[in-house]
Chains A and B, each alone.
Chain A
Amino acid sequence: MDRTPPRVAGVGLTHFGVHPERTGRDLFAEAAERAFADAAVPREDVDALYYGNFMGELTEHQGHQAPLMAEAAGLTCPATRYENACASSGVAVREAVRAVRNGEADVLLVGGAERMNNVGTAGSTEGLAVAADDLFEVRAGVTFPGAYALMARAYFDEFGGSREDLAHVAVKNHDNALDNEFAQYRQAIDVETALEAPPIAEPLGLYDSCPITDGASAFLLVSEAYVAEHDLDAPVAIAGTGQGGDHLALQDRTDLAFAPATEAAADEAFADAGVERAAAAFAEVHDCFTIAEVLALEGLGFYDRGAAVGAARAGETTADGDLPVNLSGGLKAKGHPVGATGAAQVVEATRLLRGDHPNSDAVDGDVGVTHNAGGTVASAVVHVLEVRS
């Protein structure tokens, strides 16, 4: 494969939040419009759309979304939807990176969208549960928060740690979202508030959980040759990509408190980029629940197994820590419009590296990492972003 990494030429997000009246096509149209406005790339140069969405059939009665979303973005081009639960647009990003590196495309629109609030809490709980094994998990009452709660208790049992440790993850990510205009929650919370919140699936409570979110993300991915030919200002490259897989059902995993799919994705992505983990200045990780951030940091190899649960509490992953994690606010506070999340992480990481993100001051270095997980990490996608001259 050609190792010349593609560049991110323009990025766009909608506000992540409660927008039950907005259709998926309207959300994606806004994100795409922002991406084009941020890039000196004309629409007619776009070769294809790579689009992520998870539960569109359940919430909007809309399959075959990709051509619809291309239209919404003002494009007539090949368009394909990727579905890997919460990692849907992370996988779309990866396939787009590979297509550009293979020389099959010079300009791609990449992104995702999800509409969830229009079906309420019950409807979106049902929609999210579909990411688990229907026969052996969903029919045994497994919910999305319930599945992560099973991992949280297994983690506490094997390594220690407490709900209070997890509360510090929530507090940190809420703090990081304060200045993010696209974030769903822009209120600081304290540890006591998090601990006293109602239980969702014990040991996880309301503040351990990401919200139900409507939103969309989009960015333009272009070849280095296109950047040179058109003299684009696109300093951020996607230097490495990796993907890992695991058994769908938690019960079939070798280990209930570790995510080998994340480890495999990270090993591949760092090797692909030719970058050491120590070079990472920050990470945007898949914190759909507070425990998920802990599992992500250990799977990514930033912490030994059992060592990441206290990282937020110790200030190591806060904005002023050694490795700031989820400077965007993460899924926890920025919100988690499922199919939009993986590409949204790339959007946030690009802005953090370019210097035009409200939290860019916390970034000391040229390398950022994104980690997007599907279900209970039966799918994981990792990207390494790097500033190139």
Chain B
Amino acid sequence: MSDDFTPENPAPDGEYDAWLDAVDAGDGYHLVCDEGHGWLPPRRVCPRCGGDLREEPLPDSGAVATFTVVHVPTPSFAAEAPYATVVADFGGVRLTGVARQFEDLAVGDSVAPAVGEREDGERLLLLERA
């Protein structure tokens, strides 16, 4: 790849893409302050208490806190619809991702993070039932 940023070769989104790489490699992490408030990168301080943050490993699975099945998507997700958007609790942090398998999905179900790809090649966080 050349160093020129084009639509086919966009600039990486810094810590976000690095975090997706880590999730993809099974080394997902989140950021936690001394009070136990959890966040995703990039963050320099805890937005809730102002405290310093350190990296902690992301648990292998989380519990569905809420979800929706989307029938009217944005244009970039046209090929995915219908799909479920899931918000899941991973202990100190929540993640939002896509579940392509959503039949009988329920609040409290266990889901695991993974990195998938949309039809247009963009990566996305998947939260499929574990």
Bound pair (A, B): yes
Does residue B124 face the partner (Cβ distance < 8 Å to A)? Answer: yes
Q: Do residues B87 and A201 form an inter-chain contact, with CB atoms below 8 A?
A: no
In the assembled complex, the Cα of A376 lies from the Cα of B85 at a distance in Å of 15
Does residue B75 face the partner (Cβ distance < 8 Å to A)? Answer: yes
Contacts of A140 in B (CB 8 A): 85, 96-98, 124-125
Q: Mark A118-131, 1 if CB is under 8 A from B, else 0.
A: 00011101100100
Q: Do residues B72 and A139 form an inter-chain contact, with CB atoms below 8 A?
A: no
In the assembled complex, the Cα of A204 lies from the Cα of B65 at a distance in Å of 17
Q: Give chain B nearest CB distance to A281 CB in angstroms.
A: 35
* Seed contacts A136-B95, A252-B94; 6 additional CB < 8 Å A-B pairs: A145-B70, A152-B68, A200-B72, A202-B69, A247-B47, A256-B87
Of B75, B95, B96, B97, the contact of A122 (CB 8 Å cutoff): B75
In the assembled complex, the Cα of A122 lies from the Cα of B76 at a distance in Å of 10
Does residue B61 face the partner (Cβ distance < 8 Å to A)? Answer: no
A-B contact pairs, 11 of them (CB 8 A): A122-B78, A125-B75, A136-B40, A137-B96, A140-B98, A146-B85, A150-B68, A154-B66, A202-B71, A250-B96, A251-B94
Q: Give chain A nearest CB distance to B128 CB in angstroms.
A: 13
The chain B residue sitting closest to A198, CB to CB, is B71
Nearest 8 pairs of A and B residues by beta carbon: A149-B68, A251-B94, A154-B66, A202-B69, A140-B96, A201-B68, A153-B66, A135-B16
Of A143, A154, A203, A256, the contact of B73 (CB 8 Å cutoff): A143
Does residue A199 face the partner (Cβ distance < 8 Å to B)? Answer: yes
Does residue B74 face the partner (Cβ distance < 8 Å to A)? Answer: yes
Contacts of B87 in A (CB 8 A): 150, 250-251, 256
Number of interface residues of B (CB under 8 A): 32
In the assembled complex, the Cα of A137 lies from the Cα of B125 at a distance in Å of 10
Does residue A249 face the partner (Cβ distance < 8 Å to B)? Answer: yes
Does residue B80 face the partner (Cβ distance < 8 Å to A)? Answer: yes
Does residue B39 face the partner (Cβ distance < 8 Å to A)? Answer: yes
Q: Do residues B85 and A256 form an inter-chain contact, with CB atoms below 8 A?
A: no
Q: Do residues B75 and A143 form an inter-chain contact, with CB atoms below 8 A?
A: no
Known: A141-B80, A141-B83. A249 touches B96 (CB 8 A): yes
Does residue A138 face the partner (Cβ distance < 8 Å to B)? Answer: yes
Contacts of A202 in B (CB 8 A): 68-69, 71
Does residue B13 face the partner (Cβ distance < 8 Å to A)? Answer: yes
Interface residues of A in 309-368 (CB under 8 A from B): none
Q: Do residues B85 and A142 form an inter-chain contact, with CB atoms below 8 A?
A: yes
Of B39, B66, B98, B125, the contact of A150 (CB 8 Å cutoff): B66
Q: Give chain A nearest CB distance to B116 CB in angstroms.
A: 11
Does residue A38 face the partner (Cβ distance < 8 Å to B)? Answer: no
Of B13, B39, B73, B97, the contact of A135 (CB 8 Å cutoff): B13
In the assembled complex, the Cα of A201 lies from the Cα of B95 at a distance in Å of 19
Does residue B11 face the partner (Cβ distance < 8 Å to A)? Answer: no
Known: A129-B74, A200-B72. A256 touches B96 (CB 8 A): no
In the assembled complex, the Cα of A123 lies from the Cα of B75 at a distance in Å of 8
Q: Do residues A201 and B65 form an inter-chain contact, with CB atoms below 8 A?
A: no
Q: Mark B8-45, 1 if CB is under 8 A from A, else 0.
A: 00000100100000000000000000000001100000
Does residue B3 face the partner (Cβ distance < 8 Å to A)? Answer: no
In the assembled complex, the Cα of A149 lies from the Cα of B13 at a distance in Å of 28
The chain B residue sitting closest to A254, CB to CB, is B48
Q: Do residues A141 and B98 form an inter-chain contact, with CB atoms below 8 A?
A: yes
Contacts of A135 in B (CB 8 A): 13, 16
Q: Do residues A136 and B68 form an inter-chain contact, with CB atoms below 8 A?
A: no
The chain A residue sitting closest to B77, CB to CB, is A141
Q: Give chain B nearest CB distance to A2 CB in angstroms.
A: 33
In the assembled complex, the Cα of A140 lies from the Cα of B74 at a distance in Å of 11
Q: Give chain A nearest CB distance to B32 CB in angstroms.
A: 13
Contacts of B40 in A (CB 8 A): 136
Of A121, A142, A153, the contact of B107 (CB 8 Å cutoff): A153
Of A125, A157, A251, the contact of B72 (CB 8 Å cutoff): A125
Contacts of A123 in B (CB 8 A): 75
Q: Do residues B71 and A200 form an inter-chain contact, with CB atoms below 8 A?
A: yes
Does residue A151 face the partner (Cβ distance < 8 Å to B)? Answer: yes
Of B16, B65, B72, B96, the contact of A121 (CB 8 Å cutoff): B72
Q: Do residues B65 and A256 form an inter-chain contact, with CB atoms below 8 A?
A: yes
Does residue B122 face the partner (Cβ distance < 8 Å to A)? Answer: yes
The chain A residue sitting closest to B47, CB to CB, is A247
Interface residues of A in 141-175 (CB under 8 A from B): 141-143, 145-146, 149-154, 157
Q: Do residues B74 and A125 form an inter-chain contact, with CB atoms below 8 A?
A: yes
Q: Do residues A151 and B66 form an inter-chain contact, with CB atoms below 8 A?
A: yes
Q: Give chain B nearest CB distance to A54 CB in angstroms.
A: 16
Q: Give chain A nearest CB distance to B35 CB in angstroms.
A: 12
Contacts of A152 in B (CB 8 A): 68
